[in-house]
Each structure stands twice: as C-alpha cells, then as structure tokens.
C-alpha cells in the first residue's frame, strides 16, 4: 500500500468479515511498526463493503429481541452485538482515513487502536455465536450506525460528538445490565467478553471526548455547548437515561451536557 489511507480504503472496501478483520489488524500493525507510512492521498468511500449475504432492514422493521434465556433470544442478542462491533471497525477506520490529515498523530494512533479493538471484539463475539450454531449474517441487521457516519462526514468535531460521545457512550449505559443477564443465564464466557468490551469502550469514549475537547479549544468554542449543538444538529436519536455515570465520567463525558439533552 502506498500509504495509510490506501490501506484503510482497501480494508473499508473488503466485504468478507474475517478478511476485514485481518486487513485491519495488518494495517494497524504495519503503521505501528513504521512500515506503513502516514499519508492521506486516498479518498474514503461513501460507505464500506459488507458481506453480500447480509440482510439489511430498516431499524423500525427489526424484530424485537426478547429478554428471556431461550436460544433464539440469546442468538439474536449476540448477533446484534456482532453487527455493532463489525460496523465499529469501519467507523474507526473511516475516522482516521477521512479526518487524519487534519489531526495530529495521537488522533491517528488512538483511532487505529480503536479499530484494532473493534476487530478483536467482533472476532470474540463471532466465535461465541458459532458456538451457538449461528453465524454472522444469519439474522437481519440495520444500517443505523453507518448512517451516523454519513451524517457527520463533513466535520471531525461532529463525528466525534456523535460516534464515540453518543453511540459508544450508550454502550456504557446498557452493557452492565446485558452483562448481568448473560451471567444470570449461566453464560460466563459471554460475560467475560462483555466485561472486556466495556473496559475498552470506556477508553474509546475517552479518546473521542479528549480529541473533541482539543478541537473546541483550537476553535475557541466551549466544549459542552458545542457538543450539545452538534448532537442536536447531526443526531436524530435520543440521548436518554438511565446513564452509567461512573463509566461516562471515566470516559471524560460531562454530566451537565448529557443530562441537558436527556
């Protein structure tokens, strides 16, 4: 690859899930070793490639996931989590490929690290799914996460405000209760996977909030007011309780800001 952006573009345009994971890990490893030069000559695609057999349905038409411990409900939960982590790989790669040229090396390092984490999360969850006799793509998925990327493609501050600071922050709120249900159902391996993901997501949110704060400082704008304005402009969903205040605090989020939107 000519530079980092070409490697990222190639990974984004890799449809096969295991191949996308391998491409992501390879480019992150090469960049960290210094064998893949930092450069942004390649443009990013409007949307990444996903497996051809993936059935994408509108979020409003997605079947409701039951909260019971049946095999069907458990499979639906883990399939939904697999899709979230799969799309999160593309979100992190696009963050670097689309905005890296205007940001510093710490931004590139942080979000390449996020991409590598998401690739690992997807691998763990996909393996857990297979142990249930289900494969990624066996159930329908929705396109809501990537829609958030498209809606914020023109401004790195908007992307940071919505993706790590709203969408990933929401995972901090809901994962503990999901973890408790998984553990209560006797799925200790699944519980350990969710514990690992929760720890990593706190770091991802912190990376987003940290770089958002630096951008606001450079632009001479107040952080909380800027975040609220960008979320109101670019996010069509709701910022709603209950909030995991301790995890959000560890992720660098302002309670005054997110409760103002609740």
How many residues appear in the chain? 262
Q: What is the spatial distance between Cα 179 and Cα 184, in angstroms, rounded to a whole number?
A: 8
Residue 19 maps to a domain: no
Cβ atoms of 159 and 95 closer than 8 Å: yes
- Chain mean pLDDT for the chain: 95
pLDDT (0 to 100) of residue 5: 98
Structural domain includes residue 111: yes
Q: Are 86 and 117 within 8 A, CB to CB?
A: no
pLDDT of residue 55: 93
**Dihedral pair phi/psi, residue 25, rounded to 5°:** -60, -40
pLDDT at 69 over 80: no
List CB contacts of 197: < 8 A, sequence separation 6 or more: 85, 121, 171, 175
Quick one: pLDDT at residue 65? 61
| Domain region containing 204 | 73-261
64 has a pLDDT exceeding 70: no
Q: Which two tokens stand for residue 172?
A: 């901090």
pLDDT of the residue at 251: 98
Q: What is the pLDDT of residue 170?
A: 97
* 154: CATH: 1.20.1260
Residue 33 lies in a domain: no
Q: Which class for 83: exposed (0-12), middle (13-18), buried (19 or more C-beta within 10 A)?
A: buried
The pLDDT tens digits for 29-59 are 999 999 999 999 999 999 999 999 999 987 7
pLDDT at 68: 62
| pLDDT given at position 144 | 85
Give 21's contacts (C-beta < 8 A, 6+ positions apart): 89, 119, 122, 123
Give yes or no for residue 67 having a pLDDT over 70: no
Q: Is 152 domain-assigned?
A: yes
Task: Specify if 98 maps to a domain.
Answer: yes
Angle CA(3)–CA(14)–CA(12) in degrees, nearest 5? Answer: 55
Provide the pLDDT for residue 106.
Answer: 98
Tell me the pLDDT band of 66, cut-offs 50, 70 and 90: low
Residue 18: inside a domain: no
C-alpha distances out from residue 95 to 62, 66, 138, 159, 162, Å: 27, 33, 28, 8, 12
Structurally, the chain folds into a number of domains equal to: 1
Q: Cβ distance 211 to 159 under 8 Å?
A: no
Q: What is the pLDDT of residue 58?
A: 78
pLDDT(259) > 80: yes
Render pLDDT for 197-251 as a digit per residue (tens, 0 to 9). Answer: 999 999 999 999 999 999 999 999 999 999 999 999 999 889 999 999 999 999 9
Would you say 136 and 82 are in contact if contact means Cβ atoms under 8 Å apart? yes
59: which residues sit within 8 A by CB, 6+ positions away? 142, 143, 144
**Residue 170 belongs to a domain:** yes
Tell me what pLDDT residue 57 has.
Answer: 84
Tokens 């209560």 correspond to 184
Angle between helices 169-184 and 188-219 (to 10 degrees): 170
**Is residue 47 within 8 Å of residue 13, measured between CB atoms?**
no
pLDDT above 70 covers what percent of the chain? 96
Strand partners, 56: 141
202 falls within a domain: yes
* Run of H or E residues at 83: helix 71-99
Confidence category of residue 72, pLDDT binned at 50, 70, 90: confident
Label residue 178 by pLDDT band (50, 70, 90). very high
- Tell how far CA 217 is from the center of its chain: 25
What was the pLDDT predicted at 63?
61
141: β partners: 56
Can you read off the two tokens belonging to residue 128? 């857990």
């Amino acid at each position: 690859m000519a530079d980092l952006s070409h490697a990222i573009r190639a990974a984004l345009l890799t449809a096969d899930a295991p191949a996308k994971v391998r491409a992501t890990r390879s480019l992150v490893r090469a960049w960290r070793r210094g064998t893949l030069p930092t450069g942004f000559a390649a443009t990013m695609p409007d949307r990444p490639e996903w497996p051809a057999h993936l059935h994408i349905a509108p979020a409003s038409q997605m079947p409701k996931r039951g909260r019971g411990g049946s095999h069907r409900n458990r499979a639906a939960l883990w399939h939904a989590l697999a899709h979230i982590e799969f799309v999160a790989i593309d979100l992190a790669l696009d963050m670097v490929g689309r905005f890296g040229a205007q940001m510093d090396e710490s931004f590139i390092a942080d979000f390449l690290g996020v991409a590598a984490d998401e690739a690992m999360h997807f691998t763990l969850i996909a393996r857990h799914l297979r142990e249930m006799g289900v494969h990624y793509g066996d159930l329908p998925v929705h396109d809501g996460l990537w829609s958030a990327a498209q809606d914020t493609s023109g401004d790195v501050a908007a992307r940071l405000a919505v993706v790590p600071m709203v969408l990933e922050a929401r995972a901090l709120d809901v994962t503990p209760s999901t973890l408790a249900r998984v553990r209560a159902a006797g799925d200790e391996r699944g519980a350990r996977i969710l514990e690992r993901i929760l720890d990593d997501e706190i770091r991802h949110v912190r990376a987003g909030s940290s770089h958002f704060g630096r951008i606001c400082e450079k632009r001479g704008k107040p952080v909380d007011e800027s975040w609220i304005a960008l979320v109101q402009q670019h996010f069509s969903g709701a910022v709603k309780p209950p909030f995991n205040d301790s995890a959000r605090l560890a992720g660098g989020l302002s309670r005054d800001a997110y409760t103002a939107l609740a």
